[in-house]
Chain A
Amino acid sequence: MGIRDLFRSKKKKQRAQKYKLGMEKTRENVFNRLDALLAEKRDIDEELFEDIEELFLMADMGVDTTLELVNHLREHVDAKTVRDASELKDLIVEEMFKRYVKDDVLDTNLAFSDDLSVFLFVGVNGVGKTTTIAKAAHMLKAQGKKVMMVAGDTYRAGAIEQLRVWSERVGCDFYEKPQGSDPSSVMYDAIARASKNDVDVILGDTAGRLHNKKNLMRELEKIHRVIGREIEGAPQETLLVVDATTGQNAIQQAKVFNEVTDLSGVILTKLDGTAKGGIALAIREKIGIPVKMVGLGERLEDLEHFDIEEYIYGLFADVMADE
């Protein structure tokens, strides 16, 4: 079965439209070039492989993933299962898909408990945690959930105000303590408050922290532990927010944050820029954590479930269309 079949249904195509629009620039920059590369009736030679390599590297897929992908292509060419450069396209798409899915059943739905659920948002500085929380709140509210945002970033100047403004715009509950408070105690008190007020889900903000700062990571570990102690099985989701423009460092981020807080997924933000977000594939490959959501714009509505099929379709939309 070719991956093309996956996009045959109309519904899929409609949903993918948003990806296509959001990722317009991404596609233009890299994958149109790939298309152009492969469309030319050129020979499959070392130069072609080098060009493909370059494209993958430029998409932030990382040296390892890129080399493996290209080697895979080489094997097929050597085994004579592929003769024409244009056939490589299918092979690339299929291989990317296979590598990402890894025989798992990937579920991007967020996990709720019957009672109060806690979603914790973690990540390095400036990736868009606070904005993502606002978008998530908007999404969950539309699903009929009673949402409470918790201002767990008690460090950065203006962080609490920023989240408060968002809670007013979205129209959901909000819990804060003064700047400088212990973030664990903020979560603890927020959980108590939420239980009383029949809140369905807490969205917990945390201060941005670089993963190589041991003390800050210990603080995060404590926040995570306190939540788990108050509610069994919580946090139901611990989501690492990653800026799509990030390079290979994101792998290190995912690794360390996962060690400390046992991540359930990644949220890839700012995918509406020219960044290719290839790092998502590298994170999945190296750390095993899948992407659950992607940020595709500045509006509250611009948060989408991540779907690898749609993502690839977004990248290869023009290639697929002519079939």
Chain B
Amino acid sequence: MAFDQLSDRIQMALRRVRGKGRLTEQDIDTMMREIRLSLLEADVNFKVVKQFTKDVKEQAKDEKILKGLNPSQQVVKVVHDALTELLGGETSVFSLEKKRRNTIMLAGLQGSGKTTTAAKLAKHLMKNQQAQPMLVALDIYRPAAVEQLQSLGEKLDIPVYDEGTDAAFESIVKGAFKVAEDKGCDVLIFDTAGRLHIDETMMEELKKVEALIDPDESLLVLDAMTGQDAVSVAEHFHQSLNITGSIITKLDSDTRGGAALSLKQVTGVPIAFMGLGELIDDFDVFHPERMAGRILGMGDVKTLIDRVSENVDEDDMMGMMEKMQEGTFNFNDYLKQLKMIKRMGSLGGLMKMIPGVNKMMKNMDVDDKKLTHIETLINSMTKTERKKPDLIKKSASRRRRIARGSGRSVAEVNRLLETLNQQKQAMKRMSKMDPSQIDPNNPMKALQQTTPDKKKKRKGKGKGKGGFRF
């Protein structure tokens, strides 16, 4: 994911000071030189880097820190706070007003992902703020942009308003307002045509469109892979429009993310959301502090918890836990669990939020398709088999039939049976664990500690490190 490489480099720089009992100004200088280079390599704007380096140096060299207790930890904190500040400080609160028409306009360069983002944002607001969104197609230039929005709206069951590509903006905006009222939609998301920030005619046109809509929010959509030019783009859009926030897209790439790190500093407006993948649900609120934590390798447990609580029904979960503890957990429950996980987004993305796991996973290839394979395997079982996994365990012919039916191998059926078993075991152990013993900064440790003998036994099998067998 984005920031990974930047994260590696910065952590390497921090290692220069970590664990040292005493720090000199020179240590700070060496560390900052490396951080400066890693930020530049990450496409962070040159001027932003300059300011950042200067600020952190000043703070880190403060007497109180250098001579204080545990100076290295304090320096890491200074970097963490500065990075959080760079990314925008507080999470920007984006809340719609109830019982009134809310309007959001999206603007940006060609290819930054406005149309896709419009659909993702609509879905997000529907899910998290119980909004009734409507999408409005204002991109009358790019061939088939209107069709793209229509087809996205259809998929999501969200109304899309358009007047083709020959209509005047005034007519489209007015028409959209009227239809929204008739349909009872309370958020209108306007997808505008991509344009170059230096194209004066086009920027002038956008200004007029903004005046027509008079939006509550004008959001700049920016590709996370943008280089030094991000600043010039943001500045121009900011000057022409009343930009209130930005959305950074394609953060699922392996970009080092410099654009995201420069944006707030230049425009002064917060990054409100981020796009994280091709699926409509790969979209989230942008939390500067959590992102800073991720870059510094501290994980992002908060987002993980959010994601879980958003998508998991607590009653369901408790029921499952009980079943696991009783040992009656079967494939029907497993399937339910699988669907829950799938709702939360990609597995690799989820796991990376656990502190320490990101490093571990560097060379691991988490394949979400495996989840689908497991689903097919379970779907190829009879109803009785799903309830009583032991039936399968005892019968080779059942295993062969399931393999044939799902188009997978018998080995995979065996592995699935084993995974189910392991899950039951793990749950039993967890239920015996004392929650107060779990270190919030490293929850994995607790799990590992309770499974010392098991781990040793499995060594040498190659695959299947840890308990994750997906």
Contacts and interface: CB of A to CB of B under 8 A. Distances in A.
Interface stretch (A1-9, A181-189, A229-237, A267-275): A267-275
Contacts of B107: none
B259 A243 contact: no
A247 B259 contact: yes
Nearest to A272: B196
Interface in A109-161: 124-128, 155-161
Contact of A63 (B37, B196, B278): B37
A276 B112 contact: no
Nearest to A64: B41
B229 interface: yes
Contacts of B142: 162
B228 A165 contact: no
A59 B196 contact: no
A196 interface: no
A127 B143 CA distance: 15
Contacts of B228: 57-60, 247, 276
Contacts of B232: 29, 274
Contact of A248 (B112, B196, B256): B256
Interface in A163-180: 164-166, 169
Contacts of B41: 62-63, 248
B440 interface: no
Interface residues of A, number: 47
A25 interface: yes
Contacts of B146: 158
7 contacts: A158-B146, A164-B144, A210-B254, A243-B225, A246-B223, A247-B259, A270-B110
Residue among B46, B142, B229, B255 with the most chain A CB within 10 A?
A: B229
Contact of B227 (A124, A160, A212, A248): A248
A81 interface: no
Interface in A274-289: 274-276, 279
Interface of B: 37, 40-43, 46, 109-113, 115, 142-149, 151-152, 155, 196-198, 223, 225-230, 232-233, 250, 252-256, 258-259, 278, 365, 367, 369
Interface string A231-257: 000000000000101111110100000
Contacts of B254: 210-212, 249, 252
Nearest to A207: B278
Nearest to B165: A165
B46 A245 contact: no
Q: Closest 7 interchain pairs by CB?
A: A247-B227, A158-B148, A126-B111, A247-B43, A161-B144, A165-B143, A162-B144
Residue among A162, A214, A274 with the most chain B CB within 10 A?
A: A274
Given A58-B46, A252-B254, A247 B225 contact: yes
Given A54-B46, A124-B253, A245 B226 contact: yes
A126 B43 CA distance: 19
A249 B232 CA distance: 18
A249 B229 contact: no
B223 A245 contact: yes
A194 to B, nearest CB: 23
A126 B112 CA distance: 6
A159 B144 contact: yes
A158 B37 CA distance: 41
A297 to B, nearest CB: 10
Contacts of B46: 54, 57-58
A250 B229 CA distance: 14
Residue among A25, A210, A215, A272 with the most chain B CB within 10 A?
A: A210
B229 A276 contact: yes
Contacts of B149: 157-158
A122 B149 CA distance: 23
A270 B112 CA distance: 12
A95 to B, nearest CB: 20
Given A63-B37, A128-B111, A245 B365 contact: no
Contact of A126 (B113, B145, B196, B229): B113
A15 to B, nearest CB: 24
Given A58-B46, A248-B227, A274-B229, A243 B253 contact: no
A252 B256 CA distance: 11
A29 B149 CA distance: 36
A249 B255 contact: yes
Given A215-B367, A248-B41, 14 more contacts: A54-B46, A126-B112, A157-B155, A158-B144, A165-B144, A210-B250, A211-B253, A246-B225, A248-B42, A249-B255, A250-B225, A274-B198, A274-B229, A274-B232
